[in-house]
Every structure is written in C-alpha cells, then in structure tokens.
Structure 1
Amino acid sequence: MGAIEDTRGRILAAATAQIHRHGHVKTTIADVAKHCGMSSANVYRFFPAKAALVEAVSEIWLSVTEDLARAIAIRPTSASQRVRDYIIEVHELIRDRQTTEDEVHETFVAAATEHWPCMAEHEKKLAAIFSSILADGVRSGEFQIDDVEKTAFVMRSALMKFHSPVLVAQFYGESLVEQAADLSDLLLNSITKR
C-alpha cells in the first residue's frame, strides 16, 4: 500500500471510530484529523467535505451487506433457497445493526432518507445481485419469469419492510424474520415453474 492509500485508510479508520463513538452528525473533520495526528487541511486533501468523508465510511459499511448478498448469490443451492436466504439474511444483518450499532444505523437512516449517492449505488448493486439469482433460476428451469429485472424490482419493493433501515427500526419488535420467511414463500410461489 502506498503512502497516499495508507493516509486515506488512516483517515477512514479514524472517521469510522469517531462516527461509532459520536455519530455522523457530531463527528467533525477536526476530530478525525486529531485522531490521525494530522491537520484538518490534510484530511481535506483526501475528502473535500465532511459529507464526502461520511459517505466514504458509509460505503465501507454498506459493502458488508453487498458482500453477504454476493456470497448468497453464488452458494451451490437452488435459486429458491438463495432467494429465501437473501431475504432473511439481509434482513437479519440490517436488524442486528439496528439493535447493536446505533450510530451505524443512524448513518444508514440518514443515507436512505436524504438520498445520499452511496445509498443509490448500494441499491443498484443489491438489485443486480438479486436479479442474478432470479436469472439463475430461469436458466435452470426453476423459475418462470418473463422480465427478470422488472420481477426483481417488484420483489425487492415488497421486501422494503425487511430491508430498509428506516422500516426495520419502525417495525422492530415484530416477528420480522417469520414475516420475511412467509413473504419469501409467497413471492417464490408466484415465480416457481409448475
């Protein structure tokens, strides 16, 4: 790793620690710079504004969900099982962050409600991964779908209660895993080849 990448990594690590401790609203460039033992001007060389730094940290956090979704998509199981796993495991990851990492959740809620570019990119990646599972099911003859992209969009829209940080928080305490499993059965029933 070069000096520039190392410095950028140190800044991101410090920002992550500060956001975990104080939240993204209270974290300042000065706090991050102090944590790194450098000037605020040096942090601004890498991130032109606090928003850019918070978004970069958010991208790292969002990549955890993307990595999980990718891992599910390539499992050597049926497409139906991968759809079910995607629905439930992505929900559980978001739920666990809601209950154990308040500042991470707060940042995700802000990213979602304020339409940060990193959240839009994240949603595109998840949509492509989910579509790839459906396309695998069509190729294998397991699913009957005329328009994979449209079907993926509709199915993912139906899953918002389980995958949106805002809604997971709102409905927290309900039996969401069981509801997600029931919804996955309903959705799969609608696309399974007979």
Structure 2
Amino acid sequence: MEVGTTVKDQPQAGYMSSIIEAGTAACRLYGPSKTNVADIARLLGKSPASVYKIFPSKAAIWDAIAGNFFETDLTFTPSADGELTSAARRLKETALGQHRLMLQARHGDSRMFDLVVLAAEGSWPSFGDHLKRFQAHVGELVCTGIATKEFVPRNIEAAASCFCASIISLWDPRIIGTLHSSRCELSAHALASFAVAALSQVPPREESMAAE
C-alpha cells in the first residue's frame, strides 16, 4: 500500500508533505503508540533513512503530523456570513465550533485524537502553535467587540488569553479526552456564554480603582 505521489525527484517540501500524509495514514491504521518510522516509509515505498533525511527524529515527524492535523481538522472556520453578526455571537460560535471539532475527532478519529493528546501532554510545538492561532483569532474578535462597544476596553492579548483559559475544557484535548461521552452540550453553551459575557464587564482592577 502506497500513499501519495512518487517521491523520486520531488522537492524537499513535497516529500515532507508526503511523509506527513503517510504518517497520518499510519497513525490511523496502528495508533500513535504502535506506529514507527518503518511503517511510514513502507507506505511511501521508501526507506526509513530517506525519511530521516527530511526529519531529524521520530519526535519531529510526530510533531509535524500533529501540527498538520491541528491545522486541517482542528481549526474552526467561522461561517461565511459571520461578518454580519455581532462580535459576541461570533466569539461564542468560535468557542463552540472549536469544541465540536475536538469532540468529532475524539469520537470519529480516535487514533489521531490520541496523537494530539500526546502533543498537549508533551507541550509539543504543534500544540503551542495551535493555541497561539486560537488565541490570535479570539483576540481579533475581542478587538472587534471593543471597537463596536460590545466589550469594555481592555488589554486585548490578556483578554484573549483569559478567555481561552476560562473555556479550556472546550478546546484542550487532555480534558476533552477525560469527559464522559454523555456530557450535555448545554453545559458547553452555558460556559461559552458566561465567558463571552465577562468581556462586557469592567475588569476587576478597574472596578477597584473606580471604588477608590
């Protein structure tokens, strides 16, 4: 069984993509704990040595596979008409959309979900990049909400970080992997609504300064 195109004379970037594609296929076949570089090379029809010419270690390969999965399968894309809705509504949609993607991976692509759990547990660069992208998108929505006066003016980077931390149970694979499968979706809606509403409130420091 071969995955992807023939890698002979293929540029390094193209071969890297082929390795990630084959690694993803191998992970889905055997699971991250039982997959090795030889499995990936076999799916490519190449030798393990050729794979190591592109990636310096097995850890680097796994991180690249996880990073690709985070970007292609676990990054929520808002609806096309999102610009027509309020920033608060789009922020809630983003939180719940990210949660749904994680749940779909957990139940429908369990072996790849196991890989991203490992990425989170090991603080792999791929997980850090995923969180940065999520926080950056949240920051953009917070900025928009402040501009439209839906949210109280505040430090945007800090607000985005706090928002993501407050809904960590909705996007962190380590937590989602431990949730009972019968957990009610309403709790996710309630948490997202609560976190969004907090952005409309005066930050604690500003409240204490006003009292003085």
Global fold match (TM > 0.5) = yes
**Deviation sequence 1:117-144 (CA, Å, 0-9, x none):** 1111211111111111110110111111
Q: What residue identity is the alignment partner of 1:137? A: G
Secondary structure of the residue aligned to 1:85 is helix
Pairing 1:25–2:33 present: yes
1:1-194 maps to which residues of 2 (within 5 A)? 3-64=11-72, 67-69=75-77, 75-192=83-200
Going from structure 1 to structure 2, the CA distance change for 1:81 and 1:122 (only over 3 Å counts) comes to same
Does the CA contact (< 8 Å) of 2:24 and 2:65 recur in 1? yes
Aligned equivalents of 1:91 and 1:119: distance in 2?
16
Which structure would you say has the larger Rg?
2
Stretch moving more, 153-162 or 181-190: 181-190
**Deviation sequence 1:75-125 (CA, Å, 0-9, x none):** 432101111101111001001111111111111111111111111121111
How far did 1:180 drift? 1.7
Stretch moving more, 152-161 or 180-189: 180-189
Percent identity among equivalent residues?
22
Normalising to structure 2: TM-score of the pair? 0.83
Aligned equivalents of 1:174 and 1:149: distance in 2?
34
Stretch moving more, 175-184 or 78-87: 175-184
Stretch moving more, 63-72 or 41-50: 63-72
Does the CA contact (< 8 Å) of 1:91 and 1:177 recur in 2? no
Going from structure 1 to structure 2, the CA distance change for 1:176 and 1:88 (only over 3 Å counts) comes to farther
- For structure 2, the 5+ residue unaligned runs are 1-8, 203-212
Going from structure 1 to structure 2, the CA distance change for 1:22 and 1:147 (only over 3 Å counts) comes to same
Normalising to structure 1: TM-score of the pair? 0.90
How far did 1:24 drift? 1.7
Does the CA contact (< 8 Å) of 1:66 and 1:126 recur in 2? no
**Deviation sequence 1:35-88 (CA, Å, 0-9, x none):** 111111111111111111111111110003564246689643210111110111
What is the aligned length? Answer: 194
Structure scoring higher RCO (CA < 8 A, sep ≥ 6) equals 1
Does the CA contact (< 8 Å) of 1:33 and 1:39 recur in 2? yes
Q: What residue identity is the alignment partner of 1:111? A: A
Stretch moving more, 85-94 or 153-162: 153-162
Does the CA contact (< 8 Å) of 1:143 and 1:192 recur in 2? yes
